[in-house]
Amino acid sequence: MVHTAEYLPATGTDIGSVLQGGYNHELTREWQSERHLSKSMFIFPLFISDNDDDDTAIESLPNIRRFGLNKLVPYVESLVAKGLRSVILFGVPLAPGVKDPVGTAADDPNGPVIRAIKALKQAFPDLYIVCDVCLCEYTSHGHCGELYEDGTLNREKSALRIAQVAVNYAKAGANCVAPSDMIDGRIRDIKRGLIDAELAHKCMVMSYAAKFSGSLYGPFRDAACSAPSQGDRRCYQLPPGATGLARRALRRDMAEGTDAIIVKPSTFFLDIISEAARICEDYPICAYHVSGEYAMLHAAAEKGVVDLKAIAFESHQGLLRAGARLIISYFTPEFLEWLPN
Ligand code: PBG
Ligand code: ZN
């Protein structure tokens, strides 16, 4: 018989082999989790258009609607009543001709995001308002930054323009700006911009630091009308296999002054979430359970493959286990119903 260092034969019974006494009761099963889902971890994505009376279902995102300013506050009110603490805003310009090569509409003072920040702040002073910062919803070409003539990304101009948008959201009252563009150097420009505008102490920067390209953003691009007209985002979002690049981007964004980290997508990138929790151990880590992940779980539930509530718990518990402390999730309204606090 081979005795390894770990194998210590017990005399008589092997007492270390019996684990089930530790989780035979509903309460002790709960004790076994290091972290529990709670309402305050959830950030709910809101799509806000420039048509004030808009209230439109998004076909590929079950139960998610796009709202105009007039419909937004009553809807959010029903969620705040159930314990909603935070939202992330995405603007959807529908007016014809509003998109241009530099995304001017992103921080139009009369555009949907800036007006929504003000309306939400006024109606819900305690609601934590995160603004996604990107240009793709507002550019005529649908890319996340400004382009050179040859269609490649102009890094320097893009980062400065994105910083300008972030500062304008912060001026309007956003509690947090979350740049999702993945263009090199924008965290530094945003932080510099916030410092110069004397807003850095009042506005958090939450970087989408490890955001991967792939097939999971389709329903979002329907909702936000932000699919690129040509090309794709593979020259700025990370290649799905790129663990090393993700680590470098995480370290880079910390060095550039981010206050928190987003990993996106979530379920297929649990290893990256735990890498982020390790590399960025002093930062809040947020997992973004993206539109495609949400739509897939709904589709599976509709087919009778899974129970929606059970699978939602399992997937979101996985994010916590991997090391996330916050979750951006389209399931937020359901979790506000399901969770006791
Ligand atoms: C904008 C942005 C996207 C998402 C968040 N911000 C789309 C993209 O990068 O193509 C995706 C979120 C989701 O799929 O739920 N850059
Ligand atoms: Zn974008």
Residue pLDDT, tens place only, 117-143: 999 999 999 999 999 999 999 999 999
Q: For residues 283 and 227, is the Cβ–Cβ distance under 8 A?
A: no
Structural tokens at position 316: 């979101």
Strand, helix or coil at 202? coil
Cα–ligand 2 centroid distance for 92 (angstroms):
12
Domains and CATH numbers, the chain: 36-338 (3.20.20.70)
Nearest ligand, measured from the Cα of 178: 1
pLDDT-based confidence at residue 15 (cuts at 50, 70, 90):
confident
Give pLDDT, residue 334.
98
Tell me the per-residue pLDDT of 59-98, one tens digit each, with 9 for 90 and over. 999 999 999 999 999 999 999 999 999 999 999 999 999 9
Query: Binding site for 5-aminolevulinate: residue ranges?
Result: 221, 233, 291, 330
Answer whether residue 56 shows pLDDT above 80: yes
* Ligand 1 in reach of 162 Cβ (< 6 A): no
With the most atoms of ligand 1 within 8 angstroms of its CB, the residue from 226, 266, 286 to mutate is 226
Annotation marks residue 264 as catalytic: yes
Give pLDDT, residue 151.
93
Tell me the per-residue pLDDT of 16-54, one tens digit each, with 9 for 90 and over. 889 999 999 999 999 999 999 999 999 999 999 999 999
94, with CB counted inside 10 A (0-12, 13-18, 19+), is middle
Give pLDDT, residue 9.
55
- Residues 71, 99, 191, 211: which is the catalytic one? 211
Give pLDDT, residue 4.
53
pTM: 0.95
* Ligand 1 in reach of 134 Cβ (< 6 A): yes
Query: Binding site: residue ranges?
Result: 134, 136, 144, 221, 233, 291, 330
Handedness of CA 297, 303, 304, 305 (dihedral sign): negative
* Ligand 1 in reach of 136 Cβ (< 6 A): yes
Nearest ligand, measured from the Cα of 211: 1
The C-alpha atoms of residue 105 and residue 108 are separated, in whole angstroms, by 5
Region for residue 228 given its phi and psi (left: phi exceeds 0; alpha: psi -120 to 50; beta: otherwise) = beta
